[in-house]
Amino acid sequence: VGIGAVGGPRGTTPGQQLRVLFYALPPGESSFRTVEEVPDYVEKSIPFFITFIALEFAVSWIQKRKLSGRINDGISSLSLGILSRLPDVLFRSVDLISYIYVWNNYRLFELPWDSPWTWYLTLLGVDFVYYCFHRISHEVNILWAAHQVHHSSEDYNLFTALRQSVLQKYTSWMFNLPMALFIPPSVFAVHLQFNLLYQFWIHTEVITKLGPLEWILNTPSHHRVHHGRNPYCIDKNYGGTLIIWDRIFGTFEAEDAKVVYGLTHPVNSFDPIMLQLRPLAHIWNTFWATPGFCNKLSVIFKGPGWGPGKPRLGLPEEIPVVTGKEVPFNPIVPAYLNCYVVVHFAVIMDLYTELLATVTMLSQGTVLLRIAFIILSLASFGLLTENKSKAGILEIIRCLVFIGVYKLGYFRSQFPFLGYAYEV
């Protein structure tokens, strides 16, 4: 519940929360005096994420007689989404901490928090900053090592929107600081969430074109191009909510040939830990293998396609040719094993949401234990969906750990009647 600019105490109704996903909550409904009054729109949107994913599956089946995703890739995307949120269980968002610090100590002047003009200016400011950071994340190798997680799926559906990096937030915060010189933190906190939530629904193939809106807004069609590995898709359409920045700065590309999704060099893994860390290991190895100090710095700060003697962003002709017949990484896994992973992932989702709801009442040791077990579980699920030979051993260890800590009371379900079923 927040104290609004207009009309006193209010919460977010289901109708308002639905409109949040489309950036359709105007200033009168989303202006707050302090950061503490700003709702956690992202957490409140979780039921809508689930509803829209189910709806996408239904529409895809009606349109194409096939589902819009795969179990292994979907579990991987959800696992990466959970991993990206785990640091926020322990620490307040680095975006807000740094922003509030600059606002409290260095602001030049203060725009009124309850002015519609401040609201619209922040909309443009947050989206422009997102465009800049997003573009730099594709053009600077060390930043790409974090951002590539979001592009690693070879499917394109609403699960993909949840595929986020653990590390990216620790570099994006600095790009927002100029706004802290004059825009109140409460207004910034609202638009930071709105900009993120808007980008959820554009990760789908079931929506084609949206007519005149394509000129102004980032749409599913525009964002499909951004996720493509076709040569014409590379480094295009960086916009968050608006596509105008791409049109202004020459990075816009309309959807044309069928888009093939994923990285130009697919990672071929569903292990969320490996997906987060392997790019950093690659940079580390390349750094030491590249001769010359300046070249070593270039490995870090130039584009991911750079090499000695090449342009900053690499050579376009070195981008692998896309034939349209590419087959996504999809190891053969018995049906019972897929069912097993889905059931156990549901258990972990229950434990994760229960952790979010009770974190302020738990000891730090209990919180760390739960986070460690969630990470262990997500890694195990990734190996199981790849049918790795050692996945069974890790899973047996994981289940034994679960039984021990559950019997000792360190884990708790949101649904007490499921306790015995979990032990079984």
**Residues in the chain, how many?**
424
Q: Which of 70, 155, 82, 160 is nearest to 378 (CA)?
A: 82
Contact 29, 116 (CB under 8 A): no
Q: Which of 171, 230, 227 is nearest to 199 (CA)?
A: 227
pLDDT digit string (tens) for 157-195? 999 999 999 999 899 999 999 999 999 999 999 999 999
Q: Which pLDDT score is estimated for 334?
A: 93
The mean-pLDDT minimum among 65-74, 176-185, 233-242, 265-274 falls in: 65-74
Q: Which pLDDT score is estimated for 10?
A: 53
Q: Distance between CA 292 and CA 333 in Å, rounded?
A: 46
Q: Distance between CA 390 and CA 141 in Å, rounded?
A: 32
Residue 121: pLDDT over 50: yes
The mean-pLDDT minimum among 39-48, 124-133, 206-215, 339-348 falls in: 39-48
The mean per-residue pLDDT over the stretch 214-221 comes to 98
The mean-pLDDT minimum among 111-115, 125-129, 185-189, 387-391 falls in: 387-391
Contacting residues for 2 by C-beta, under 8 A, at least 6 apart: 9, 10, 11, 32, 37, 38, 39
Q: Which pLDDT score is estimated for 88?
A: 85
The mean per-residue pLDDT over the stretch 128-152 comes to 97
Residue 89: pLDDT over 60: yes
pLDDT digit string (tens) for 49-79? 999 999 999 999 998 888 888 999 999 999 9
Q: Distance between CA 316 and CA 166 in Å, rounded?
A: 29
Q: Which pLDDT score is estimated for 11?
A: 64
pLDDT digit string (tens) for 344-384? 999 999 999 889 888 889 888 999 999 999 999 999 999 99
From the CB of residue 218, how many other CB atoms can be counted at a distance below 10 Å?
25
Predicted structure pTM score: 0.92
Residue 342: pLDDT over 50: yes
Contact 410, 417 (CB under 8 A): no
Rounded to a whole number, what is the distance in angstroms from the first to the last CA of the chain? 40
Residue 390: pLDDT over 50: yes
Contacting residues for 418 by C-beta, under 8 A, at least 6 apart: 350
**pLDDT band per the 50, 70, 90 thresholds, residue 8:** very low
Percent of the chain with pLDDT over 70: 97
Higher pLDDT, 317 or 136: 136
CA distances in angstroms from 204 to 178, 261, 304, 368, listed in the order given: 33, 12, 27, 35
Residue 3: pLDDT over 60: no
The mean per-residue pLDDT over the stretch 78-93 comes to 89
The mean per-residue pLDDT over the stretch 276-287 comes to 94
The mean per-residue pLDDT over the stretch 396-405 comes to 92
Q: Which of 46, 88, 39 is nearest to 186 (CA)?
A: 39
Residue 90: pLDDT over 90: no
Q: Which pLDDT score is estimated for 1?
A: 27
Q: Distance between CA 199 and CA 264 in Å, rounded?
A: 22
Higher pLDDT, 40 or 105: 105
Mean pLDDT of the chain: 92
